[in-house]
Chain A
Amino acid sequence: MSPVQTQEAARMRAKAALRKGLRISLSYALMLVILGFAIFPFLWTLAISITDKQASGISIYDFPKSLFPPAVTLGNFFEVITKLNLGKYFLNSVIITALTVVGTLVVSALAAYPLARLQFPGRGLIFGAIVATLVLPTEIAFIVNVLTLRDLGLLGTYAGVVLPIIATAFGIFLMRQAYLAIPGTLMEAARIDGASELQILWRVMIPLSVPSLTALGIFTLVGTWNAFFWPSVALLTNDDLLPMSVAILKLKGQFNYDVFNVAAGAMIMMIPVLVVFFLAQRFFMRGLEGAVKG
Chain B
Amino acid sequence: MKRQALTATLIAYAFLAPALVLMGLFTFYPVFYGSYLGFTDYTVADLASGEGPRWVGLKNLQFVLSDPLFQTGILNSLKYLLVVPLLQIASLAVAVLVNQKLPLMAFFRVGYYIPVVTSISLAAVMWEWIFQKEGFLNWSLQLLNLINAEGRFNWLLNEHTALWAIMLVTFWRGFGYYMVLYLAGLQSIPAELEEAATLDGATAWQRFWLIIVPLMRPTLLLCSLLSTIAAIRVLEEIIVFTGGSGGPLNSTYTALLYVYNKSWGNMLNANFGVAGAAGLLIALVGFALSYINFRLTREERGER
Q: Choose from B119, B263, B286 the contact partner of A226 (Cβ within 8 Å).
A: B119
Residues of B within 8 A of A120 (CB): 8-9, 12-13
State the main secondary structure of chain B at its contact with A: helix
> Which of A75-83, A132-140, A209-217 participates in binding chain B?
A132-140
Q: Are A266 and B126 in contact (CB under 8 A)?
A: yes
Interface range for B: 35 or more
State the main secondary structure of chain A at its contact with B: helix
Interface string of A123-146 (1 = CB under 8 A from B): 100100110010111111111111
Q: Are B26 and A141 in contact (CB under 8 A)?
A: yes
Closest to B263 in A: A143
Report the number of A-B residue pairs with Cβ-Cβ less than 8 Å: 250
Cα–Cα, bound, A109→B249 (Å): 49
Q: Choose from B11, B120, B240, B275 the contact partner of A143 (Cβ within 8 Å).
A: B275
Cα–Cα, bound, A176→B134 (Å): 52
Contact (A113, B110) CB under 8 Å given A44-B129, A248-B125 = no
Residues of A within 8 A of B116 (CB): 284
Q: Are B125 and A249 in contact (CB under 8 A)?
A: yes
Interface string of B70-112 (1 = CB under 8 A from A): 0000000000000000000000001001101010001011111
* Shortest beta-carbon distance from B168 to chain A in Å: 10
Q: Does B205 contact A (CB under 8 A)?
A: no
Q: Are B9 and A141 in contact (CB under 8 A)?
A: no
Contact (A145, B26) CB under 8 Å given A120-B8, A229-B235 = yes
By a beta-carbon cutoff of 8 Å, the part of chain B in contact with chain A is 8-9, 11-13, 15-16, 18-20, 22-23, 25-31, 33-35, 37-38, 47, 94, 97-98, 100, 102, 106, 108-130, 132, 134-136, 139, 172, 176, 180-181, 183-184, 204, 233, 235-236, 239-240, 243, 256, 259, 263-264, 267, 272, 275-276, 279-280, 282-283, 286-287, 290
A sample of 23 cross-chain residue pairs with beta-carbon separation below 8 angstroms, ordered by A number, consists of: A27-B102, A34-B97, A35-B112, A38-B111, A42-B126, A44-B126, A61-B135, A61-B139, A63-B139, A114-B12, A139-B283, A140-B35, A143-B263, A144-B34, A163-B26, A166-B22, A172-B19, A252-B125, A263-B125, A277-B113, A284-B113, A284-B117, A287-B181
